Amino acid sequence: MRALVISDIHGNFHALEAVLAAAPAHDAVWNLGDVVGYGARPNEVVELLRGISTLDVRGNHDRVCTGLTSSQGFNPVAAEAAAWTHGTLTDSNLEWLKAMPKGPVAVGETIVCAHGSPLHEDHYILSMRDAWAPLQRMESSIAFFGHTHVQGNFSLLENDWEEERPQYAEREAAAQQRLELRAGTKHLINPGSVGQPRDMDWRAAFAIYDDMDSSVTFHRVPYDVEAAQAAIRAAKLPERLAARLQTGR
């Protein structure tokens, strides 16, 4: 079985289209949340996902943009985008987003999918310090998560702790890097953000999980950033949301 693992699309339809066009053949699509918020084409993103995703986990922006929770903890730019998104979503898409389950969601006996962490949907895992408790406490051998918009892997094998981030030679063309999943190891794996990367790489990020050869392959793919920026500006959303797409931060 091969799964396309995506996260943090954030209403960026142009990036999602590029990911789906570049993704190798797969049997399932696992969506780790934050489908909307920030980007200017939330309805198109949701409608596309509704036809292809086989597993969905809600993100914090999905909750706020649908009114399940307030935007009190958001910065002003995020709160403005959330309010705009709520007013833009169709009733059908709003209800679909509201119905996405809270993570973690199990895939068989060895894998879970979460937004922030397998321990709490809003926790950020950015460093080994953040990963320590989830790796110690999670019962699955693999947890896929998003939320940070940073592609990478944290692992634990007995007393061997490792943090790995893909290193790509250049930042313009499509690129990939394979990670072998060693037997007996626990992994926390972030596929990166489709629609708003924050690891200084502007390209859309995703991952392919392959249980036949026990591997995850991280991918980056270019997309039409200028078109995504133009859509944000046309919607009169904050300029910050358009500008940051060019730098991946």
CATH code, domain carrying 26: 3.60.21.10
Give the residue numbers spanning the domain of 232: 2-246
Indicate the Cα dihedral angle 137, 143, 147, 150, nearest 10°. 110
- Cα distance between residue 148 and residue 132, in whole Å: 16
Residue 220 banded pLDDT, cuts 50, 70, 90: very high
Pairing of β 175-180 and β 215-221: antiparallel
Task: Note the pLDDT of residue 120.
Answer: 96
Reported confidence tier of residue 101, pLDDT bands at 50, 70, 90: very high
Q: What is the pLDDT of residues 123-148, one digit of tens each?
A: 999 999 999 999 999 999 999 999 99
As to burial, measured by CB atoms within 10 angstroms (0-12 exposed, 13-18 middle, 19+ buried), residue 127 is exposed
What's the domain count of the chain? 1
pLDDT over threshold 90, residue 170: no
Task: Tell me the pTM.
Answer: 0.96
For 44-83, the pLDDT digits (tens) are 999 999 999 999 999 999 999 999 999 999 999 999 999 9
